[in-house]
Structure 1
Amino acid sequence: MAEDRVKHHLAALHDAVEGPLDAPLTGLPDDDVIDVLRRLETTLRRTAAVGHRLVVEVMERSIPGNLDCRSITDFLTQTLRISGADAARRVRGATKVGTWHTPTGVDLDPALPESARAVRDGDIGPDHVAAIATILRKIPHNTPIERIEVAEAILATAARDTRTAVQRNHDALEAGLRHLHSSGVLGSHRGLPVTVIATMTVQQLEDATGLATTGTGGLVPVRDALRMAEKAHPVLAVFDHHGRPLHLGRSKRLASADQRLALIAASRGCTRPGCDAPASMTAVRPKHFVQGGPPYVTEWNKGGRTDIDSLDLACDHCHALVHDGPGGWRTRTAADGTAHPGRTEWIPPAHLDPTRTPRVNHRHHLDRTVAQALDNHRARRDAEAREHRRRWNRGVDETGDGDAP
């Protein structure tokens, strides 16, 4: 019986919680403490999905009205002894990611289907759902429904974002200004966007000191030139200590200007997942391939060559995270046939991801992310339509009278 099954599950849940309450933790290694903490958080998030199911059941049965409660919020406040704000938050969560039913008992899709799946899997929690719903409410009403669905899917995937609200607002403003600057509406000169060309030596670039020469013959402090480059579309011409351009061959220690321009066009910024450092704030770094992946790359100081396929962009902070210690990241090139062939994959340390699943940075490729999400959405919708037609045709064949069930 359903009643017995529910009681059995609740008893098992009670016993499962009882154990960790009394079990000693001091003898656990650091990695195990981190693993327990992560697994507990996943379990708590999944229990939120159970709570959503119960709220839906209470509302669909009209239990608050049967008990003379003014509303579902009033019922939860009295029954669970929680605050009105907490009760309202749980109701809103059930409204957005709960599975509701028609009068005949047919399941309805959640209002936020991707978020609902993420909650059920324990990837996100109630606060994430509330933030996603708040953002979606700001989308204009005339936006096509498929774009709203794609936006919800992207938000559900990105809900491990650890930036503060201030940092997110700053990044949003910066992205908007960058888009405005690149749109060309701010002025042009002889049909081209206004651009500052600054020339400096490698030593000046590394030390951020001295004066850079502009294309008009003026002098600009190197620090100012680098700061200007963050907000422009720089074409970087790098010279050696003798004022000569670096060799375009690939036997030099430093990447050539052509190689850097190619990497800027391909990666657009730091390649570590989640890093928003633009290309102007990165340097060309060698990839450190791991065992089991593509062949090892011999670094320049060990007799290797500075080939374009063994290079990519990384900011100073992220590059320092790549090391052989227990908390170090690894990098490699995604193989052909994978979701992102040729892109740089970053493999996180075990304390961040026990599976050490390779990741790529989508932050600098929002246009590609949206396009791919739209393609996936349309492909899934077309597959569902084909399946519906197949079932319909099979029903016609079985009845023989042209009326499918």
Structure 2
Amino acid sequence: MSDLVAKYAALQALVKEIAEETADAHDDETVAQLAIDHHTVVRQFESIGNQRILEVSDRDAHRTAGCVTVSEFLQTKLRITHPKKRLDAVRSLEPMHAMTGEKLPPVCPNTARELAAGTIGPDHVHAVLDVMKKIPSTVDVEQRARAERVLAEFATTLAPKEIGAAGVRILAHLDPDGTLTDDRDRARNRKLNLGCQDSQLMSKLTATLDPITRALFDVVLAKWAAPGMNNPDDDQSPKGDHGDADLQLLKEAADRDHRSQSQRNHDAFKALLDAAVNGGLLGGSHRGLPPQIIVSITDAQLREHAGVARTATGTDLPISNVIKLAADAQTHLAVFSDVTGEPLFFGRGRRLASQAQRLMAFALYGGCSKDDCATPFAHTEMHHAERDWADGGLTDSPHMAPACGRHNRAVGSEPHQWATGKITDGPDKGRYGWRRNTDPPDQIRANHLHRIDELLLRHRDTLEGSVAPPAPTSDDVAEPSTDATPERRSFDVTWPRGLVTYAA
């Protein structure tokens, strides 16, 4: 065993000993100092952790842990919440190799030194890096280096928010007239982020818009967010552009409009997205699916008007919203054992899955089939899970499963790659699971992230001592049954605002 491995083993043993100790026998001053010393060491280990991550990246060692990318390794094996931010810190604080092989000094050497000393933490590092990213690209290297040195010094005494405030003054000093900022800087700093849904299923949208995008958005808001326009709470509210609205109707709607400007902006944005999705702007297909809202729900949810449905793009919708969308639904196609004209079996006749096959796979899996992968179905490919296409695999529904691009490419015969196989028993029977090539054949794992409702039902039924109803399996899509009452059916229903799949 190498010295480093032995030292980490000794460290873990020491950490266990420390965790079992208490500071009851020490005075208050010592207790306070112990807390300070503890968190200094924690910050120092953040720096050492960056070195370990860089070593993993340089050697592609993440593959030996069954991860396709370094980012996946950080997220799943190291349990790092924001892997992209951590990788940014590694690239900025650690010596990197140039294309020619020589080792380059850190981009932010002073910040790296303070983190290694334990005087600053990861939040301070991210605050410094955020300011450094906003320095115009035309600022010379010496001025950029001085700014980083000052920011690192501030970080030892200031809170992360205060570092941002100090950064504003530094940027004002470097570019007092705003003449150094150019289109490259604006392009580098543009962003639009859609946050996760909260407990009310609401999402926060944050953006930094370049000047042209801002100007375009102002035009949209001026017309679509005018008082009385696109009001979802008013059936008589004109929709779309107020230039096409009846002026008298618009005036009456405006008099009834009690929304704030922020709410009108939201409703205008919603109406604009609706026009894009349902007006043909997105074309006829996206990854084999219609570019519409596609939802999978059960007949029990429809009957009870309760629960949460998941869309193919990974959004959770309250059943009340689904019912509202489905008010004018028309039957589109059946994807399980009900009689259907949609072909689900192509054999070697074609390589790519049909729309009907993808809809069936969405109803069955909900997203990427690789265990613990959160990629929603709309961003997946159809993987020949029984046997790869190059090895003679068939493009038949029972032989395929959805997989995101990185996991689809991770399947292969190398030890660090993955294999897929059909689960033959248990609640996941009929679905495809994944295992590393170095794992025993019986360690095949299904993905439950996209079917949380099923998992909760299984736990409930286990606690109550009953047996949960079987989940739909790919065996249900065998040749069309002649039975007048098929065991389980699932229907995809489309309407002007989207498409819904429900299982009966």
Q: Normalised by the size of structure 1, how large is the TM-score? A: 0.38
Q: Normalised by the size of structure 2, how large is the TM-score? A: 0.31
